[in-house]
């Protein structure tokens, strides 16, 4: 199930995401989801989350 979230992203970061999306021929939101998924620790590793941030 997906949650809808509204986030303000600094323009330089958005431009980078948009450029990557164009290169991959994918929507910007797909690229941002992929980046978040790779950056955040897995659900089953909460101790990693505490150390990461």
pLDDT tens-digit map of 12-22? 999 999 999 99
Q: Does residue 6 form part of some domain?
A: no
* Per-residue pLDDT tens digits for 15-42: 999 999 999 999 999 999 999 999 888 8
d(CA 7, CA 22): 21
**Global pTM?**
0.75
Q: Which helix (H) or strand (E) holds 1?
A: none
Around Cβ 10, how many Cβ atoms within 10 Å? 8
For the chain, how many structural domains are there in total?
A: 1
Cα distances (angstroms) measured from residue 2 to each of 5, 33, 43: 9, 11, 16
Q: Does residue 4 form part of some domain?
A: no
Q: Does residue 46 form part of some domain?
A: yes
**CB 27 within 8 Å of CB 21:** yes
């Amino acid at each position: 199930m997906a949650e809808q979230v509204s986030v303000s992203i600094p323009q330089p970061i958005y431009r980078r995401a948009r450029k990557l999306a164009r290169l991959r021929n994918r929507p910007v939101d797909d690229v941002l989801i992929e980046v978040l998924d790779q950056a955040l620790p897995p659900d089953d590793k909460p101790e990693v989350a505490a150390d990461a941030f």
